Amino acid sequence: MEKFFLEIPSMNRKKDIINYINELEKYNSDTNGCGMLAKILEGYTFEEALEGCIKCQNEDYAKKIGRLQSKTLLLIRENDNKVVGTINIRQNLDEKKHMFNGHIGYGIRPTERKKGYSKINLYLGLMEAQKLGLNKVLISCEQSNIPSNKTLKALGGNHKISKIDPWDNTLTNIYYFNVNHTLEKYKNTYYQYLSSIKI
């Protein structure tokens, strides 16, 4: 059985991360969950993007550059040590102001989709959110993104409202999660996929 774990981005993963980001660009895919690593597509060097990614874990730094304090992690498939996804967990979120950002952004590389990895990624992300002291989590998703909506519902997301995101004029679904409840309810489903490797 395949096993997965989350890993903090580092220089050791330079080639893997660049390959991941380039694949997203190749398939014209969103950079959801990449955090500051997505800056590679804007001309930043890997080292600059990685530094920003790590520094954004500091609230003062994040505010200084107009971002939310956040932690970006890589989803690693233990069996072949491959980066198959990313997840970005945001703290100090003003739910009214940042409703369309949400506490968590996540993504799976295009060539690894339709394998159920999004659910594993999100479950691991909720575990990390719990470590960061987040008990209630808001996650937004474009209504047209059927796979992501299915993922959020599959892990017990409570669909609260649908609103137009003024940034890109798309109809967006807003979900809430009780983190502790979700982790306990779906433990038997997802624990079997979790590696013993810790962040």
Report which of 127, 101, 105, 102 is spatially closest to residue 179, judged by C-alpha positions.
Answer: 127
Exposed (0-12), middle (13-18) or buried (19+): which is 7, by Cβ within 10 Å? Answer: middle
**pLDDT tens track for 33-59:** 999 999 999 999 999 999 999 999 999
158-165 and 170-178 strand pairing: antiparallel
Tell me, what's the pLDDT at 24?
98
Report which of 185, 180, 190, 195 is spatially closest to residue 122, judged by C-alpha positions.
Answer: 190
**Phi-psi sector, 169: left (phi>0), alpha (psi -120 to 50), beta:** left
Res. 196 pLDDT band, cuts 50 70 90: confident
Res. 136 pLDDT band, cuts 50 70 90: very high
Q: Looking at residues 102-114, what average pLDDT do you find?
A: 97
Tell me, what's the pLDDT at 133?
95
Beta strands in 17-169 (DSSP E): 70-77, 82-90, 104-108, 136-142, 158-165
Coil, strand or helix: which one is 20?
helix
Q: pTM of the entire structure? A: 0.94
For residue 145, the tally of other CB atoms under 10 A from its CB is: 16
Give 3-state DSSP helix, strand, coil % of the chain, rounded to 5. Answer: 40, 25, 35
Tell me, what's the pLDDT at 99?
79
Please state, rounded to an integer, the average pLDDT across all residues of the chain: 95
Report which of 152, 87, 93 is spatially closest to residue 121, judged by C-alpha positions.
Answer: 87
Torsion of CA 120, 40, 52, 9, to 10 degrees: 40
Coil, strand or helix: which one is 160?
strand
Report which of 145, 139, 153, 10 is spatially closest to residue 73, judged by C-alpha positions.
Answer: 10
Percent of the chain with pLDDT over 90: 90
pLDDT at 199 over 60: no
Tell me, what's the pLDDT at 176?
96
